[in-house]
Amino acid sequence: MFFLKKRALIKYDETNPYLGAAVRIHCFYDSKIDISPIIKQCWEKVGQVQLHMNVYARTLEGDLSKLNANGFEGVAVNQDVFHVIKESIEYSQLTKGAFDITTYPLVELWKKAGQQGKLPDEESLRSARDKVGYQNLELKKPNRVYFKKKGMKVDLGSPASGFVCDAIAQIFDKYKIKHYLVDGGGEIFCKGEDQGPKPWIIGIQDPFDKDKLYGVIKLKNKGVSTSGNYEKFYTIGKEKFSHIIDPRSGYPQKGAVSITVIAQTTQKANELSTALSVLGGQKGIELANSLKNVEAFVIEQKEGEVFYYQTKGFCCIRSV
């Protein structure tokens, strides 16, 4: 009896800049597959997302720039941008406003406050808050977006990082690439297995020590997103303020230090990890437990004491 030996898979691994961070595409493929045109499609998709969903773009070439400049009159956007905004609104409704892509006026205000080292005054906060609210977004098929209030601005940085991972995953699935990992910079989608074969192992950063991992999770055919205030924050006086703004109050969220969410898509994981940052440990985990195919883990710090919350099915192997 003869047994056919499995052909060794070839590895592709490349990282390029993306929206102030980076995208890593890592896959294993059979030598019979011409990987070059597939990878080209992947990086072209990254470029398209970066052009059309970049809130910091200085020109009106991208769809998001056009929308933020002329949204009150209505702007036709491409299919990807329309999809991301539509799903973002759905998650705003699900989380009762804890996740909201219209917070950019508040983000601008707190960024300026951090640069000046001075808290924003109440009048400025009221003015910025008045421009925030996903209820003031109107979508008209096939692809037109309207702002119901002048001065509104949308920031797609959070869902776009998850979306780009999912978009690359769809390309790989189309061409039957069975083993891959896509990292959008805090958001990851994995399918199949790492070379070995062995499961993909994803580390969760210890928010209190950048040189250590809190633990690791095994991931397969799912997306994961980690949000937190331990890397991105504003410093005003001696106090650090999270870069994640609570859309309801207009102030940076407090308490939640690190939030990890696993979901069927990376965009969903990202939107939920942002929402759980705002909701906090107990309310956030209650929401996650109510959702199908979602697992979550929250590290929260209140008055110097650290609390840990997790869904019933969340499994993390603690680092030693």
With bands split at pLDDT 50, 70 and 90, how would you rate the model's confidence at 4?
very low
Q: What does the pLDDT look like over 191-229, one tens digit per residue?
A: 999 976 788 999 999 988 888 999 999 999 999 999 877
4 occurs within a structural domain: no
| Interatomic CA distance for residues 152 and 133, integer angstroms | 9
Q: Is residue 178 part of a domain?
A: yes
pLDDT at position 230 is 63
User: How far is residue 29 from each of residues 150, 162, 200, 203, 212, measured CA to CA in Å?
Assistant: 50, 23, 16, 24, 32
**What percentage of residues in the chain have a pLDDT greater than 90?**
76
Establish if 3 belongs to a structural domain. Answer: no
Quote the CA–CA distance of 16 and 13 in Å, as a whole number. 10
208-217: b or e for each residue (b if 16 or more CB lie within 10 Å)? Answer: eeeeeebbeb
Q: Per the structure, how many domains does the chain have?
A: 1
- Report d(CA 40, CA 150) in Å as an integer: 39
Mean pLDDT confidence for 129-143: 96
pTM over the 0.85 mark: yes
* The pLDDT of residue 1 is above 50: no
The owner of tokens 């979602």 is 294
Residues 6+ apart with CB under 8 A from 246: 98, 252, 253, 278
Residue 1 is assigned to a structural domain of this protein: no
- Residue 111, domain member (yes or no): yes
User: Which CATH number is 114's domain given?
Assistant: 3.10.520.10
Q: Is residue 205 part of a domain?
A: yes
Distance CA 124, CA 6 (A): 64
| Cβ pair 310, 297 in contact under 8 A | yes
Domain assignment present for residue 84? The answer is: yes
Domain with 79, as residue range(s), is 10-318
Q: Is the per-residue pLDDT at 121 higher than 90?
A: yes
Residue 175 lies in a domain: yes
H/E stretch holding 183: strand 179-183
> Among 165, 215, 211, which Cα is nearest to 191's?
165
Q: C-alpha angle with apex 90: 88 to 92, nearest 5 degrees?
A: 70
- Give pLDDT tens digits for 52-107: 999 988 778 899 999 999 999 999 999 999 999 999 999 999 999 999 999 999 99
